[in-house]
Amino acid sequence: MRAEEALRKISDERPLVHHLTNYVTVNLVANTTLCVGALPVMAHAHEEVEEMVGLASALVINIGTLDPIFVEAVLLAGGRANERGIPVILDPVGAGATSLRTETAGRLLSELNIAAVCGNAGEIATLAGLTAEVRGVESLTGDAKEAARKAAGALGVTVAATGPTDYVSDGERTLAVSNGHPIMGRIVGSGCASTAAVGCFAAAGGADAETVAHVLAYFGRAGEVAAEGAGGPGTFEPRFLDALAMLAANQDGLGSALRVEEVSG
């Protein structure tokens, strides 16, 4: 689904997107969801996650601040989401940095039906069994195109590997997204927010490779718009939320500004 169509559908339907996310970036994730046009909820308690997922149109799992209690909540919520047939989006934050993160990401992929995985090049390379360097939650090395293609083929899901150029693959088809701005990498939570946006699009139209590529292009375009006149990271973030909302509300010319192309190899 292309960005304009998805954004119109989100505006009409106002889907609820349930986030099981980390406490470092929860505010940006919630505001991103609102600016895209969906409704966010951040519920982690074991006693309510299954009931809350029962109301949602998509579930986004982000393992940025990880502990055993959180993992159990994710498994409960993910199981209920799978029962209902709603898309589950996974952000394997820090996979490759520690064994806990790598093993948890692998466990979620084996025990839950995941529609799409979105991470940086190092995280995705780790899931693909490739060599990568991840320090904390930041990727220092990793070929994003190769990682996305190999991980998608191995896992059988849509995979997005973000970086200066984002690559999205379903194992057979790989798309490159060149929208974005370098200042986005200086905002804590920009990756978490992009996965939240993927969850919003998934709630409206699924999580195939084209849809995920178009949401990342829209997200990157908002970064380009926000960077115009921003004095630095501090002034960029509110401008970025404004740009997400503006582009969601008025899609005139959006399609021609999105740089998505199919790549080989």
E strand or H helix at 17: strand 16-20
Q: Is 35 labelled a binding residue?
A: no
Q: Is 189 labelled a binding residue?
A: yes
Query: CB-based contacts of 165: which residues, under 8 Å, 6+ apart?
Result: 144, 145, 176, 177, 178
Q: Is 42 labelled a binding residue?
A: yes
What is the rounded distance in angstroms from the CA atom of residue 109 to the CA atom of residue 116?
10
Q: Is 122 labelled a binding residue?
A: no
Query: CB-based contacts of 38: which residues, under 8 Å, 6+ apart?
Result: 10, 14, 15, 16, 17, 57, 199, 200, 203, 204
**At what angle are helices 209-227 and 3-13 packed, to 10 degrees?**
90
The pair phi, psi for residue 141, each rounded to 5°, is -140, 165
What is the rounded distance in angstroms from the CA atom of residue 157 to the CA atom of residue 41?
25
Three-state DSSP class for residue 89: strand
What is the rounded distance in angstroms from the CA atom of residue 15 to the CA atom of residue 203?
6
**Would you list which residues are annotated within the binding site for substrate?**
42, 189
**Would you list which residues are annotated within the binding site for ATP?**
118, 162
**Would you list which residues are annotated within the binding site?**
42, 118, 162, 189
